[in-house]
């Protein structure tokens, strides 16, 4: 095989900062070409943390040569420069397309220009999607679970690269496949098991450093398809030993494989318990529908409710009908006003499968020529459906506030779905224990947080009473934040926030204001006196007794709250004579 550079870093054009490409050997005759996107926006829903991402592709050189995935179009020049350093693109026999989302398929057209004879190996659905994406003929082989492709034996290494494929629909696109190389015991999973984390580490050397991103990514992309994850795990379990999971985003998994796989198994089992779920429909490859549906699904998951994402384009008629009919809530996007007969057929099936006991909600897909959302909402209301939240409109390119609004609407829906269970849990606590726990007191605080990215700003606030000093040096505190709180998204590791300490003499108006139920996306600070640019983490309430400017250091996951440990970087007291408002309770089964 061709010699592999130990590390080739090719910066892109200077005006696009912090993009680079890395190439490393990962197994016999196998290298990864990783496109490192250090600054990818955290405001795309699943990029919730602040660590950028990578797009990983792979080159396997048996007797035949196969490339697994390409890269994002933003790496057009640098990715091909590195690829050509490894192999003449005309010598590549196969391009294996794990799925057709543009972050991995963005350079397929360019590759076809260089090598029109390359054979594309993909699922049947992916080949259909790709035809619309590249607008040119190409050779292809559609594969499904159990199909194999023998790349033959590399004459230098003597290793035979025999590939076996697994269908993994919905992880996270409907057209996804995994590929397993028997010669190197490497499983290529693209989005599944991935994480958005950009570093020069090719492998998962540091479990603790990447675990929060691994978890967050699962919650956003895989959790809404937990049943599909379990199906894929069953198929993986039948494979011979796996030495490496070669993911499409972030470091490759090798040194903590059992932990990562067990995480997926446990989280997916937890999220598949019970029969009640919300079906969130979307249209892949249409406007912002995919990302917006993910935001709603993530919000539903935050409320610990089950959710199932359903691609209206790629789900077969029978499955679509039963998934919709059995759901307790159905969320529907607007669709293209000029849709083809297949999509019209799916929409007909969707509408026919609705039943009157379900909650319903609609959202703008923002695809450019959508059916009007009001007409859709009225059509569904006329069927007798009860609305879970008001129609979510999108009037300009979705930004962080749009995603926040969609996520919060999802959380409202999740809370509605879980209402009965939440009340039952509250009542199930032993009476004496309940009263004893209620004797634990805390102060009263308003946590505020705001973050800016380019022209977009997110901010939020909540009342907190479970706040406690937790260290002297450095000064630190913990705050417990319920998992379904909107502000939780702004309190990831590295984020900043402010604890506003309420004054026992004037806290009641602030308490009433922040305890209100805000509609999705509402400005929590409207009508409140705030001081901007005093603290780094967020607004300071002008009527607060004191404030503490904090940075999140660690997060500990509890059953229904995140325990957030933060370093206090600065603080100030407005009135040295006044006392902190105290929260006395009678019972411990709610705040």
Nearest approach, Cβ of residue 102 and ligand FEO (Å):
8
Spatial contact of 504 and 578, defined as CB atoms under 8 Å apart = yes
Alpha helix positions (H), 238-309: 257-271, 289-302
Of 95-103, 106-114, 396-404, 435-443, the segment contacting ligand FEO by CB under 6 A is 95-103
Query: How far apart are alpha carbons 329 and 414 in whole angstroms?
Result: 9
Stretch that binds ligand FEO, among 100-108, 353-361, 384-392, 544-552 (CB under 6 A): 100-108
Find the binder of ligand FEO among 101, 405, 484, 543 (CB under 6 A).
101
Taking the chain, what is the end-to-end CA distance rounded to the nearest angstrom? 64
CB of 100 to ligand FEO, least distance (A): 9
Q: Which three-class secondary structure state does DSSP give residue 173? A: coil
Residue selected from 42, 104, 458, 485 as contacting ligand FEO according to rule CB under 6 A: 104
Q: Which residues contact 508 (CB under 8 A, 6 or more apart)?
A: none
- For the beta carbon of residue 177, count every other beta carbon within 10 angstroms: 26
Residues near 519 by Cβ (< 8 Å), separated by ≥ 6? 390
Closer by beta carbon to ligand FEO, 191 or else 549 = 191
Which of 93, 103, 213, 364 binds ligand FEO (CB under 6 A)? It is 103
Show the binding pattern over residues 451-480: x = contacts ligand FEO (CB under 6 A), - = does not.
------------------------------
Between 191 and 371, whose beta carbon lies closer to ligand FEO? 191
Q: Inter-axis angle of helices 289-302 and 400-417, to 10 degrees?
A: 40
Structure tokens at 346: 């799916």
Tell me the per-residue interface mask from 144 to 183 with ligand FEO, x by CB under 6 A, - otherwise: ----------------------------xx----------
CB 17 within 8 A of CB 40: no
What's phi and psi for 224, nearest 5 deg?
A: -65, -10
Q: How far is the CB of 190 from ligand FEO (least distance, A)?
A: 6
CB of 535 to ligand FEO, least distance (A): 36
Measured from the CB atom, the residue of 103 and 484 that comes closer to ligand FEO is 103
Of 173 and 277, the one with the shorter C-beta distance to ligand FEO is 173
Query: Smallest distance from the beta carbon of 35 to ligand FEO, in angstroms?
Result: 11
User: In the chain, what are the helix, strand and coil shares in percent, each to the nearest 5?
Assistant: 30, 30, 40
Q: By CB under 6 A, is residue 46 in contact with ligand FEO?
A: no
**In whole angstroms, how close is the CB of 419 to ligand FEO at the nearest point?**
33
Q: Which residues contact 336 (CB under 8 A, 6 or more apart)?
A: 283, 286, 343, 367, 368, 369, 370, 371
Q: Which of 164, 191, 204, 370 binds ligand FEO (CB under 6 A)?
A: 191
If one asks whether residue 408 binds ligand FEO (CB under 6 A), the answer comes out as no
Q: Does 79 bind ligand FEO (CB under 6 A)?
A: no
Q: Of 348, 353, 374, which is closest to residue 363 (Cα–Cα)? A: 374
Q: How near is the Cβ of 101 to ligand FEO at its closest, in Å?
A: 4
Does position 213 interact with ligand FEO (CB under 6 A)? The reply is: no
Q: Which stretch binds ligand FEO (CB under 6 A): 97-105, 196-204, 452-460, 580-588?
A: 97-105
Site string for ligand FEO, 215-254 (x = CB under 6 A): ---------------------------------xx-----
Nearest CA to 298 out of 497, 51, 515, 45 is that of 45
Peptide bond into 474 cis (omega under 30): yes
Grouping H, G, I as helix, E, B as strand and the rest as coil, residue 299 is: helix
Distance CA 331, CA 384 (A): 15
Residue 248 CB, nearest approach to ligand FEO (Å): 5
* Closest CB to ligand FEO: residue number: 101
The DSSP H or E segment spanning 381 is helix 373-381
- The residue (of 42 and 104) whose beta carbon lies closer to ligand FEO is 104
- The least CB distance from residue 53 to ligand FEO, in Å, is 8
Contact criterion met (CB below 8 Å) for 87 and 2? yes
Per CB under 6 A, which of residues 318..377 are in contact with ligand FEO? none
The C-alpha angle 6, 7, 11, rounded to 5 degrees, equals 165
Q: State the nearest-atom distance from the C-beta of 99 to ligand FEO, in Å.
A: 6
Q: Nearer to ligand FEO by C-beta: 73 or 568?
A: 73
Least separation in angstroms between CB 309 and ligand FEO: 12
Least distance to ligand FEO, CB of residue 75, Å = 13
Q: Residues 247-286: x/- map of binding to ligand FEO (CB under 6 A)?
A: -xx-------------------------------------
Number of amino acids touching ligand FEO (CB under 6 A): 9
DSSP per residue, 202-224? -B---HHHHHHHHHHHIIIIIGG
Query: 């459906």: which residue's tokens?
Result: 385
Q: Residues 33-55, buried b or exposed e (16+ Cβ, 10 A)?
A: bbbbbeebebbbbbbbbebbbbb
Token pair 């509609």 in the structure block, residue: 519
Measured between alpha carbons, how far is 140 from 118 in angstroms, rounded to an integer?
8
What does the per-residue mask of binding to ligand FEO show for 518-557, with x meaning CB under 6 A? ----------------------------------------
- Where on the chain is the footprint of ligand FEO (CB under 6 A)? 99, 101, 103-104, 172-173, 191, 248-249
């Amino acid at each position: 095989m061709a010699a592999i550079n130990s590390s080739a870093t090719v910066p892109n054009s200077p005006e696009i900062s912090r993009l680079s490409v890395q190439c490393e050997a990962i197994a016999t005759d196998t290298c990864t070409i990783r496109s490192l996107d250090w600054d990818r926006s955290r405001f795309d829903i699943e990029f919730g943390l602040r660590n950028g991402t990578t797009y990983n592709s792979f080159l396997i050189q048996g007797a035949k040569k196969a490339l697994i995935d390409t890269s994002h179009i933003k790496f057009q020049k640098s990715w091909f420069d590195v690829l050509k350093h490894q192999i003449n693109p005309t010598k590549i026999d196969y391009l294996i397309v794990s799925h057709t989302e543009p972050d991995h398929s963005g350079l397929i057209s360019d590759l076809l220009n260089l090598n029109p004879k390359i054979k594309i190996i993909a699922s049947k659905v992916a080949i259909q999607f790709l035809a619309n994406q590249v607008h040119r003929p190409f050779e292809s082989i559609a594969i499904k679970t159990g199909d194999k492709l023998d790349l033959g034996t590399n004459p230098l290494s003597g290793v035979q690269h025999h590939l076996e494929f697994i269908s993994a629909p919905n992880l996270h696109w409907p057209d996804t496949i995994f590929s397993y190389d028997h010669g190197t015991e490497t499983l290529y999973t693209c989005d599944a098991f991935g994480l958005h984390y950009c570093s020069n580490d090719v492998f998962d050397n540091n479990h603790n450093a990447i675990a929060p991103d691994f978890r967050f990514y699962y919650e956003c992309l895989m959790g809404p398809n937990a049943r599909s994850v379990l199906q894929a795990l069953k198929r993986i379990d039948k494979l011979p030993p796996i030495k490496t999971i070669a993911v499409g985003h972030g470091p490759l998994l090798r040194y903590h494989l059992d932990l990562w796989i067990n995480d997926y198994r446990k989280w997916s089992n937890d999220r598949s318990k019970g029969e009640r779920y919300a079906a969130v429909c979307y249209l892949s490859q249409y406007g912002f529908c995919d990302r917006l549906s993910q935001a709603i699904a993530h919000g539903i998951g935050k409320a610990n409710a089950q959710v199932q994402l359903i691609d209206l384009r790629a789900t077969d008629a029978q499955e679509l009908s039963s998934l919709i009919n059995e759901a307790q809530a159905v969320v529907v996007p607007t669709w293209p006003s000029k849709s083809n007969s297949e999509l019209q057929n799916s929409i007909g099936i969707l509408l026919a499968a609705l039943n009157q006991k379900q909650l319903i909600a609609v959202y703008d897909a923002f695809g450019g020529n959508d059916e009007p959302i009001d007409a859709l909402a009225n059509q569904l209301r006329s069927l007798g459906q009860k609305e879970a939240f008001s129609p979510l409109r999108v009037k300009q390119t979705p930004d962080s506030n749009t995603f926040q609004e969609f996520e919060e609407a999802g959380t409202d829906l999740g809370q509605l779905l879980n209402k009965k269970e939440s009340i039952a849990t509250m009542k199930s606590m032993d009476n004496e224990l309940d009263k004893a726990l209620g004797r634990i007191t805390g102060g009263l605080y308003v946590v505020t947080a705001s973050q800016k990215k380019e022209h977009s700003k997110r901010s939020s606030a909540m009342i907190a009473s479970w706040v406690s000093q937790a260290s002297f040096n450095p000064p630190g505190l913990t705050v417990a934040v319920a998992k379904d709180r909107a502000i939780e998204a702004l309190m990831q590791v590295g984020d900043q926030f402010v604890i506003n300490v309420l004054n026992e003499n004037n806290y009641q108006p602030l308490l009433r204001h922040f305890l209100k139920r805000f509609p999705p996306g509402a400005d929590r600070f409207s009508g409140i006196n705030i001081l901007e640019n005093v603290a780094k983490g967020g607004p300071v309430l002008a009527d607060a007794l004191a404030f503490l400017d904090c940075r999140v250091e660690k997060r500990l996951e509890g059953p229904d709250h995140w325990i957030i440990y933060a370093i206090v970087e600065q603080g100030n007291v407005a009135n040295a004579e006044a006392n902190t408002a105290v929260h006395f309770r009678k019972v411990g089964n709610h705040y």
